[in-house]
Amino acid sequence: MVGTESNEIVYDVVVVGAGAAGVGAAVALKHAGIENFVVSERRKVGASFASWPAETRFITPSYPTNSIGMLDLNSIAIGTSPAFSLGVEHPTGKEYARYLRAVARFFEVPVRQDTDVMQVAKVGDGFRIDTADETLQAKHVIWTAGEFQYPRLSGFVGSQLCCHTATIPSYEELDGDDFIVVGGYESGVDVAYHLACRDKRVRLFDKGCPWEEESSDPSVALSPFTLERMREDQFVEQVELFPHTPIESVTRADAMYEVTARDGHRFQTRVPPLLAGGFEGSHKLVADLFERRDDGSPLLSEHDESTIVPGVFLCGPTVRHNNYVFCFIFKYRQRFAVVAKAIATSLGLPAENLEEYRKWGMYLDDLSCCGEECVC
């Protein structure tokens, strides 16, 4: 590791990453009465949101419902609402980053920006957190480094020839008239929609058929916001859908990209195919601290703590319990207070203020009630 000597402070908690999960978990720590902690953020608060493609908006709507004790779906802290502070229903990433910065300021969250965490190791009863410049020590770690900055760039032969949607600053900047998009869930449909609005032709491939998925869980089926956009004239006219068509390879010859499907069909384009195939996630950096589930995500205790290294916790969209996927803010925020409570208890603090989270429906500690589907 490059850097200075270990500093002497032993934090009660180091939170890694200041996105929606890191800032939300940090506010819950404050409500739990924990003050001796720091959030290490490799760039700035809300950095991932700030680097979404400029046109991409939240699919989950925001609405200021706090006056009747219901939190805005995209809120990460009691008493705050992106709809109220931004005045929009479907914020862009940049707008939402502004909301996160305002929350961090309001709750005086201690964020160390430009502090890239390279490694976390268990040492004795605590943790050593190596950043690019120094070493921090802590009794507990909450890993909230997210997924967006760790896109999945593999998956089929030649996938490195494609351009991942998470690396595109703006769809407006994409040259060409004839696009192939691999991956038909939210990000794939989003890019197809914006290209269609600019009169581009798009062929959209998915190994399944997310737009016909019947589940009421938005972690599985497309959101109403997206389904509405798919019904717009421009989308219908410009976008050709290829469901149940897994891609096997991409090759390049004579300035053409050839995309071959598993069923042998070949498709050509002059523009690098766009990859909307999801994220590997940052948890690969701390893979040695967690057991793995069969689906590759970290195995967590009922308090979202590692099952093999006590003291390290996970918050954010990678949290899974049984078949429940906590990939949206309104889902994973339910676990901030659960984690804060577990850490407060281990520090001998009563954490009574966390009862407020329960009142606001932001404290899901009984996982047996997850996964109920809508019946109509």
When binding is defined by CB under 6 A, the residue of 14, 15, 20, 241 that contacts ligand FAD is 20
The residue whose two tokens read 């948890």 is 283
- Establish if 335 lies at the interface with ligand FAD (CB under 6 A): no
- The answer to whether the Cα torsion of 111, 116, 121, 123 is positive or negative is negative
Q: Per-residue DSSP letters for 224-290?
A: HHHHHHHTSHHHHHHEEEETT--EEEEEEETTEEEEEETTS-EEEESSPPEE---B--GGGGGGGGS
Between residue 237 and residue 266, which ones bind ligand FAD under the rule CB under 6 A? none
Nearer to ligand FAD, 16 or 259 (CB): 16
The interface region with ligand FAD, picked from 4-12, 17-25, 234-242, 293-301 by CB under 6 A, is 17-25
Nearer to ligand FAD, 206 or 258 (CB): 206
Residue nearest to ligand FAD (CB): 19
Nearer to ligand FAD, 48 or 261 (CB): 48
When binding is defined by CB under 6 A, the residue of 109, 162, 314, 329 that contacts ligand FAD is 329
- Establish if 37 lies at the interface with ligand FAD (CB under 6 A): no
* Backbone φ, ψ for residue 320 (5° rounding): -135, 140
When binding is defined by CB under 6 A, the residue of 13, 29, 47, 162 that contacts ligand FAD is 47
Helix (H) or strand (E) holding 100: helix 93-106
Closest-CA residue to 257 (of 267, 265, 248, 247)? 267
- Establish if 363 lies at the interface with ligand FAD (CB under 6 A): no
- Establish if 92 lies at the interface with ligand FAD (CB under 6 A): no
- Establish if 328 lies at the interface with ligand FAD (CB under 6 A): yes
The interface region with ligand FAD, picked from 27-35, 177-185, 209-217, 325-333 by CB under 6 A, is 325-333
Size of the site for ligand FAD (CB under 6 A): 36
- Establish if 298 lies at the interface with ligand FAD (CB under 6 A): no
**How far apart are the C-alpha atoms of 302 and 130, rounded to whole Å?**
28
**How far apart are the C-alpha atoms of 229 and 200, rounded to whole Å?**
16
The interface region with ligand FAD, picked from 55-63, 81-89, 269-277, 350-358 by CB under 6 A, is 55-63
CB 12 within 8 A of CB 28: no
- Establish if 58 lies at the interface with ligand FAD (CB under 6 A): yes
Angle between helices 20-31 and 93-106 (to 10 degrees): 20
Amino acid 345 reads T
Between residue 117 and residue 176, which ones bind ligand FAD under the rule CB under 6 A? 117, 144-149
What tokens were used for 67? 């006056």
The residue whose two tokens read 């009465």 is 33
Query: What is the binding site for ligand FAD (CB under 6 A)?
Result: 16-22, 40-43, 47-49, 52, 56, 58-60, 116-117, 144-149, 187, 282, 285, 316-317, 327-330
